Amino acid sequence: MTTAERLLSRIRADGPIPLPDFMAEAVAAYYRRPRVFGAAGDFVTAPEVSQIFGELVGVWLALRWHAEGRPERFLVAECGPGRGTLIADALRAAAMVPGFAATIDLHLVETSPTLREAQATALAGFPATWHDDATDLPGGPLHVVGNEFLDALPAAQFVFRGGAWRERRVGHDGRDFVFADGPEARPPADLLDRLPAPREGEILEHAPAAEAFVAGLARRIATQGGAALFFDYGPAESGFGDTLQAVSRHRAAPPLAAPGEVDLTVHVDFSRLARLAQGEAAAAFGPVDQGIWLVALGLPARLTTLLRQATPRQTEELVSGAQRLIEPQAMGRLFKAFALMPGGSEAPEGF
C-alpha cells in the first residue's frame, strides 16, 4: 500500500484525520525514498551547497568545547542529518583542532533507514550511534545541531469559523485530499494572547512536535549543560497563516496532493520556540540571518584558504556556493540560526 492509500483508507474508516498525523506519515515515508537531496533530487540544503557550512558548524562546536574547558568527552548529536554531509564536514574541521575530535561522542537522531545508511557512508568509519528520538540520547552536557530538521516536524492548524476555533483536519473529496474543519478546539493560549482578534477563516498554525522537542532539549541543557544550534526558515515573530508547503523537483507543489512523494515543511516560529525554551530556564539566542552567522564564524577566511588550492572549476563552485549561502536574496536572509544555552549564558559565537 502506498502512503496515500493508507491515509485514504484511514480517512474512509474514521473521517478526516488530524493534520499532524497526515504530515508525520507523509514525512516519514518521504525520507525513506532514495534521491531526496541534491540537483537530481527535490531540494538542496545549505550543507549540500558548500562544504564551508558544515565546517563552520564544526568550528562552532570546537569553540563550545574550548568554552567548556576542553572536556574529555564531548557529546554531539545531530538531528535529521540527511545525507550526513554537514556532520562529515564538521568532523573534518574538528580534526584540525588539536585534541578535539578524539573527545567527540557522536549520536545521530534519524528515523529514515535509507538516510541512516547514507550517513554511515559519509562518516567513513567515524563511530556514531543512531537514535529514533532525541529523548533516547545519553545524559550529560549535550551539543545538538540541526539543519532543516525543525521544519519537517508535523504541524497542527486551527481555522476560525463562525466565531470559534476549529481543528483543521485532512479529508478526501473522492478525488483529492482536502482540508476539512474538525471539532472545536482551543489553540495554545500563549499564541492567541499575542495575536490580534481573528477574522473569519483565519488560520493559526503551530508545531506541537517541534515545540515538545525544543522544550525538552531546553530543559535538559538548562539542567545538564551543553548547547544547541539550529538553522531553518521562518519568521522572527509569531503570526496567523498557513505555511504548510511541498517541494518536488525544486518546485513548489500542492501540499496535500502526493503524501510521501513530496517534501512537506512548515515555517519555524522561532519566537515561540524561544519563549518555550526560556520557560524551561534555558537561554535562547537568535534568530539571526544565516548569512550573518556564517560571516561571523569566518566564512570569508575559510573561502580564501580553500581557493588557494582550487582548480578553476572548484573556484567557481566554491565562490558560487558561498554566495548562495550568505546573499540576502539567496539563502542568507531566509534561513536563520537559532541557539539554546543554559540560562544566564553569554551569547555563543555568531549571536
Q: Residue numbers of the site for ligand SAH (CB under 6 A)?
A: 27, 31, 37, 45, 47-48, 80-82, 86, 109-112, 115, 147-149, 152-153
Query: Shortest distance, CB of residue 53 to ligand SAH, whole angstroms?
Result: 8
* Minimal distance, residue 11 CB to ligand SAH, in Å: 22
Instruction: State the number of CA atoms in the 13 A half-sphere of 321 facing the CB.
Output: 22
What whole-number distance in Å separates Cα of residue 263 and Cα of residue 279?
A: 32
| Alpha-helical regions (H) of the chain | 3-14, 19-30, 46-49, 51-67, 85-94, 113-123, 189-192, 208-224, 270-279, 290-296, 299-308, 312-326
Sign of dihedral through CA atoms 122, 124, 128, 130? positive
Q: Which CB atom, from 11 or from 46, has the smaller least distance to ligand SAH?
A: 46
Cβ-based nearer residue to ligand SAH, 121 or 304: 121
Using CA atoms, how far apart are residues 214 and 212, in angstroms rounded to an integer?
A: 6
Which residue is listed with cell 528515523?
111
Q: What is the DSSP letter of 101?
A: G
Instruction: Evaluate whether 170 touches 16 at the Cβ level (below 8 Å).
Output: yes
CB of 37 to ligand SAH, least distance (A): 6
Helix (H, G, I), strand (E, B) or coil at 179: strand
Closer residue to ligand SAH, CB minimum distance, 130 or 240: 130
Judge contact between 31 and 115, C-beta under 8 A: yes
Which three three-digit cell numbers place residue 346? 553569554
Q: How far is the CB of 112 from ligand SAH (least distance, A)?
A: 4
Task: Quote the distance between the C-alpha of residue 248 and its chain's center.
Answer: 18
* Least distance to ligand SAH, CB of residue 17, Å: 18
Q: Which is nearer to ligand SAH, 110 or 211 (CB)?
A: 110
Specify the residue, 50 or 238, whose C-beta has the smaller distance to ligand SAH.
Answer: 50
Considering the complex, what minimum distance in angstroms separates the CB of residue 212 from ligand SAH?
11
- Cα-Cα end-to-end distance for the chain: 47
308 phi, psi to nearest 5 deg: -60, -35
Nearer to ligand SAH, 6 or 161 (CB): 6
| Residue whose CB is less far from ligand SAH, 24 or 180 | 24
Q: How far is the CB of 220 from ligand SAH (least distance, A)?
A: 17
Give the C-alpha separation, 157 to 167, whole Å: 6
Q: CB of 99: closest distance to ligand SAH in angstroms?
A: 27
Closest residue to bound ligand SAH by CB: 80
Closest to ligand SAH by CB, 76 vs 180, is 76
